[in-house]
Amino acid sequence: MGATMLAQLWLLLPELLLTGGAVLGLLLGSYLPRRRQWLVRALAFSICAAGVVAAVAFWGEHATVFEGAYALDVATATVRVVVLGSVALVLALATPGVRGDRRETEFVVLLLLGALGAVVLAGANDLLLLAAAYLLASVPLYALTAFAKDAPGTEAAMKYYLMGALLGVTMLFGLTVLLGLGRSTAYPLLARTLPGSATAALATGAVLLLAGPLFKAGAVPAHFWVPDVAEGAKPSVAALVTTIPKLGAIVAVYRFVAEPLAATGVDWRMLLAVLATATMTLANLAAFFQDNVRRLLGYSTISQVGYLLMAVAAAGTALALPSLLLYLVAYAVTNLGAFAVVAAVPAARTVGDYRGLARSRPLLALSLVVCLLGLVGTPPTGVFAGKLAVFTAAFEAGLGWLVVVAVVNTVASLFYYLRWIAPAVRGDGTGGGFNSPVAAWPSVTAYVAAAGSLALGPLAGLVLAAVSADPSPLS
C-alpha cells in the first residue's frame, strides 16, 4: 500500500471508525450473552467520541480522495461531527427500548451503518459514490423502521422501502442521463462538460438524480413516508430517520448544484426555491390539525427541509453554505430533543395526553417548550440563528419573495406548536399520558438537547466562524 493511499485512509478516520465499529460490534455481539449486549452499545458510544475527536482534528483539511470521488472540506467535516453527535444522542434515546433485547447488537450495527451512509452522502463528489451512499443510508434504516416487528412499524417500513426503491431507481435513471451528457460521473469533469449540453435533457437528468437525496431529506414531493415512519416506528428510530439522513442528503444536494450544475443553463435556483416553498407550506398546512404528536413532529421535520432548501437555493453566495451548516447543527439538536421528550413519556400519544406535564414533570415540560419553540425559530435558540442566517443568504441571492414566504410559514407554524405547548404548561395534571414512570435515558437526552439548542443561539457566531474560517470550494 503506497504512502499516498495510507495518507488518504488516515484522513478518512471518522468513516473508518464507523465501519470498524459496525464490523467489530457485529462480531462482538455474536459471542456475547444477551445480558452483556450493552457492551456493543458502549463500543458505539466510544466510536462516536473517537470519531468526533478525529473529525475536529481534520477540520481544516481540503482535499479529495480516491481519484476525487470523495471530498473532504468544511461541509463534510460539519456533517461528520453532527452525525456522530446525533448517533450518541440516539443511542441514549434508544436505551430503554433495546437494553436486554436479543437483537440489541443488530440495532446498534444498523444505526452505525446508516450514519456512515449519511456521512458519505455529504462527501460524495462522484455520481456513482452518491448512488452507493444513497443505498447505504437507506437499507439499514428500512430494517430499523420495522425493528419492533409490530403492525404500525411494519406498515411504515413497507411504505418507506417502496418509496425508497422507486426513487432510488429514478435517481439511477438521472445518473444515466447525466453520464451520457457529461461523459463522466466525477463532479469536476461534469462541471466542465455539462454546460455544453442540451438544457432540456440536462434539466431532466438533474431532476431525476435529485429525487434520491430529496427523498432522504423528506422534501416535497418525496415526503409521504415521513409522518408514517414518525408514527409507526419506535421513537428513537423516528428521531434517527428524520434527522441523520437529512444532514447528508441536504449537503449532497448543495454539492451537486454548486458544482456540476453551477454554470449550466438549468435554472436550478428557481427549481429549489419552488421546492422549498412547496415543502414548508404543504407540511405546515398538514400539521395544523394533527392531534398525534409523532405525526405532528413528522410534518414539522418536513417543513424544516423547506428552510434548509432555501440555503441550497442561495448556493454561490458567501453566506449560503455557512448558514446551511449552522441550520443543520441547530436542527439536529432541537429535533432530537423533541423526539426525546416523546420517548420519555411513551404513553402520551396525543396533544391532550400532555395536559399538566409542567406540573408533574417540570424539567421535561421545559425541555419540550424549548425544543418546540426552537423548531419555530424563537430567540435565543440555535434554529433562530440558523433561520436568520438562511433568510439573509436567500435575500442576498435575490430571493426576497422566498424570504417573505418563509417568514409567513414561520409565523403560521407557531399555531400547531402552541396547540401542543398550551395543554402541557396550563393543564392540571389530568392528561394521564405521563402518569406511568418516565424513562430516564430519554429524559436526560431531552435535557441535554434542550440545553444544547439554547446554547447554540448565543454561540451561533462562533459556529458560523468555524464553518466559514476555511473557505470551501463550494462557497
Say which amino acid occupies 159: K
Q: What is the DSSP letter of 63?
A: E
Q: What is the mean pLDDT of residues 408-423?
A: 94
Instruction: Give the other-Cβ count within 10 Å of 39's Cβ.
Output: 14
Q: What is the mean pLDDT of residues 88-106?
A: 90
Q: What is the mean pLDDT of residues 110-127?
A: 96
Listed residue (132, 147, 133, 120) closest to 65, CA to CA: 120
- Are 327 and 375 a contacting pair, CB within 8 Å? no
Listed residue (301, 364, 361) closest to 336, CA to CA: 301
Q: On the CB side of 255, how many CA atoms lie within 13 Å of its CA? A: 31
Grid cell in block for residue 251 = 449537503
pLDDT (0 to 100) of residue 314: 96
∠ at Cα 141 (135, 147), nearest 5°?
A: 145
Question: How far, in Å, are 47, 172, 449 from residue 88 at the CA level?
Answer: 9, 32, 11
Q: How confident is the model at residue 336 (pLDDT cuts 50, 70, 90)?
A: very high
What does the alpha-carbon distance between residue 9 and residue 4 come to, in Å, rounded to a whole number?
A: 9
What does the alpha-carbon distance between residue 358 and residue 355 come to, in Å, rounded to a whole number?
A: 8
What does the alpha-carbon distance between residue 41 and residue 88 come to, in Å, rounded to a whole number?
A: 10
Q: How confident is the model at residue 436 (pLDDT cuts 50, 70, 90)?
A: low
What does the alpha-carbon distance between residue 189 and residue 191 come to, in Å, rounded to a whole number?
A: 5
pLDDT (0 to 100) of residue 438: 75
DSSP string, 304-323: HHHHHHHHHHTBTBTTHHHH
- The residue with cell 448544484 is 257
- The residue with cell 445518473 is 175
Q: Strand, coil or helix: what is 474?
A: coil
Grid cell in block for residue 126 = 462522484
What does the alpha-carbon distance between residue 39 and residue 446 come to, in Å, rounded to a whole number?
A: 23
Q: How confident is the model at residue 98 (pLDDT cuts 50, 70, 90)?
A: confident
pLDDT (0 to 100) of residue 32: 87
Listed residue (208, 197, 194) closest to 166, CA to CA: 208
DSSP string, 395-440: HHTT-HHHHHHHHHHHHHHHHHHHHHHHHHHHS-S---TT-SPPPH
Give 23-73 pLDDT, tens digit per residue.
999 999 989 888 888 999 999 999 999 999 999 998 888 888 988 899 999
pTM of the model: 0.94
- % pLDDT > 90, the chain: 78
124 Ramachandran zone, left/alpha/beta (phi>0; psi -120 to 50): beta
Give 243-259 pLDDT, tens digit per residue.
999 999 999 999 999 99
Q: What is the mean pLDDT of residues 376-396?
A: 94
Is the per-residue pLDDT at 474 higher than 90?
no
- % pLDDT > 70, the chain: 96
Question: Would you report the helix, strand and coil content of the chain in percent, each value rounded to 5?
Answer: 75, 5, 20
Listed residue (285, 276, 372, 369) closest to 324, CA to CA: 276
Is the per-residue pLDDT at 432 higher than 80?
no
Grid cell in block for residue 352 = 391532550
| Mean pLDDT rounded to a whole number for the chain | 92
pLDDT (0 to 100) of residue 431: 55
DSSP string, 123-191: HB-BHHHHHHHHHHHHHHHHHHHTTT-SHHHHHHHHHHHHHHHHHHHHHHHHHHHHHHHHS-SBHHHHH
DSSP string, 359-379: HH-HHHHHHHHHHHHHHHT-T
Q: How confident is the model at residue 238 (pLDDT cuts 50, 70, 90)?
A: very high
What does the alpha-carbon distance between residue 404 and residue 133 come to, in Å, rounded to a whole number?
A: 35
Give 158-199 pLDDT, tens digit per residue.
999 999 999 999 999 999 999 999 999 999 999 999 998 999
